[in-house]
A and B are shown apart, each in its own frame.
Chain A
Amino acid sequence: MTAMAKTPDDPHRKQRGKNIALLIALLAFVVIVYLVSIVKMGGS
């Protein structure tokens, strides 16, 4: 059985791209909340 070539238009590839973007957005949100908490608790 030959592996299917994944083109840029492959739906799975597009879905994977969206999943990664969502992961990055969530991680960024966590980092923002953490840093804002540090700043606020520092009283500056």
Chain B
Amino acid sequence: MSDTSLQAFRTADAGLGEEARVGDFLALLKPRVMSLVVFTGFAGLVVAPGSLHPLLGAVAVLCIAVGAGAAGCINMWYDRDIDAVMSRTCRRPIPAGRVAPEEALAFGVTLSLFSVMLMGLAVNWTAAALLALANGFYVFVYTAWLKRRTPQNIVIGGAAGAFPPMIGWAAVTGTVEIGSILLFLIIFMWTPPHFWSLALYREGDYAKAGVPMLPVVAGKAATRRQILIYALLLYPLSLLPAVIGPAGPLYGAVAGIMGAGFVMLALRILRERSDRAAKQTFAYSILYLFVLFAVLIAERLAPGIGAGIGSSVLG
């Protein structure tokens, strides 16, 4: 750990930093991660069979957003020592000394409890239980248990980020069904190649912080192979919603094209072995998930848009 980062960590732990702004507390909620979580949660809500009052739907999405942000906040509290070491995270509010760790913990726990209780009271308790499970999984299983112990951290821990569409679905139906499990599995299988692409060009950061990410423990070559394996596993899985529901032919076509692109990029990583290829795969993985869930939403909100593709494929 460098002197500078050690100083930042001590400053933050002692609560000696400057007064926090509102923006620092918003930053604790990891807004960029939250946007993808909200989007996939909203998709689950839209594609689920049945209907929900728009206001309750909005409250459900708000609870998913706040719950995910709260989990991210508690994660930042727990990981403040390694955040201080990594260049990507050293400017976060806690290692930078702008928010005291205990303040961040209180903020995260309060918001987490608030989001689960509001979800239960306003929407239903199945969705609330899933939200609590997702938060608990992210904080206790991923952050506190797996992250610093095993290179499989994001494989298993990725489940936490896969819950939002299932929560959105449960907000409408009050149940867990095969359709929502499929959406869960797509994000679950997408998470390892997504994070390992990032870890390939941030390997030094993770090594410095002592986080056993796959490139640090098994090497870059093994990580590139694993990215390809997961991209190949994700491909057929991503098509299943078009086969057994809840998606239609347009989704199937888009998932087929986007999935092929993902596999091609994974092959390129294996061939080129450059940071550039890894960065492009990381960026593409985000686009991939956004596009897949955007098409899911579009198909449900405008049922006619996939009809042409359906008839041309089937007839």
Residues of A within 8 A of B (CB): 9, 11, 14-15, 17-18, 21, 32, 35-36, 39-40, 44
Contacts and interface: CB of A to CB of B under 8 A. Distances in A.
Contacts of A36: 55-56, 59, 121-122
Contact of A17 (B22, B56, B59): B22
Contacts of A40: 122
A41 B246 CA distance: 31
Contacts of A9: 18
Contacts of B55: 35-36, 39
A4 to B, nearest CB: 16
B149 interface: no
Interface string B16-46: 0011111001000000000000000000000
Contacts of B62: 32
A15 B103 CA distance: 14
Of A9, A15, A32, which is in contact with the most chain B CB atoms at under 10 Å from its CB? A32
B118 A32 contact: yes
B88 interface: no
Nearest to A9: B18
Mostly helix, strand, loop or mixed at chain B's interface?
helix
Contacts of B56: 36, 39
B53 interface: yes
A39 B56 CA distance: 8
Contacts of A35: 55
A33 to B, nearest CB: 8
Contact of B59 (A14, A32, A44): A32
* The 4 residue pairs across chains A and B that have the minimum distance between CB atoms: A11-B19, A36-B122, A14-B19, A21-B22
B19 A39 contact: no
18 contacts: A9-B18, A11-B18, A11-B19, A15-B19, A17-B22, A18-B21, A18-B22, A18-B25, A21-B22, A21-B25, A32-B118, A36-B56, A36-B59, A36-B122, A39-B53, A39-B55, A40-B122, A44-B53
Interface centre among B19, B53, B62 (most CB of A within 10 A): B19
Given A9-B18, A36-B56, 9 more contacts: A14-B21, A15-B19, A17-B21, A21-B25, A32-B59, A32-B62, A36-B121, A36-B122, A44-B53
Nearest to B114: A29
Nearest to A17: B22
B104 to A, nearest CB: 14
A28 B269 CA distance: 47
Nearest to B51: A44
A18 B53 contact: no
A5 B281 CA distance: 49
Contacts of A32: 59, 62, 118, 122
A30 B186 CA distance: 37
B267 to A, nearest CB: 48
A12 to B, nearest CB: 9
A14 B20 contact: yes
A15 to B, nearest CB: 7
Interface string B113-140: 0000010011000000000000000000
A14 B24 CA distance: 11
A36 B103 CA distance: 30
Contacts of A17: 21-22
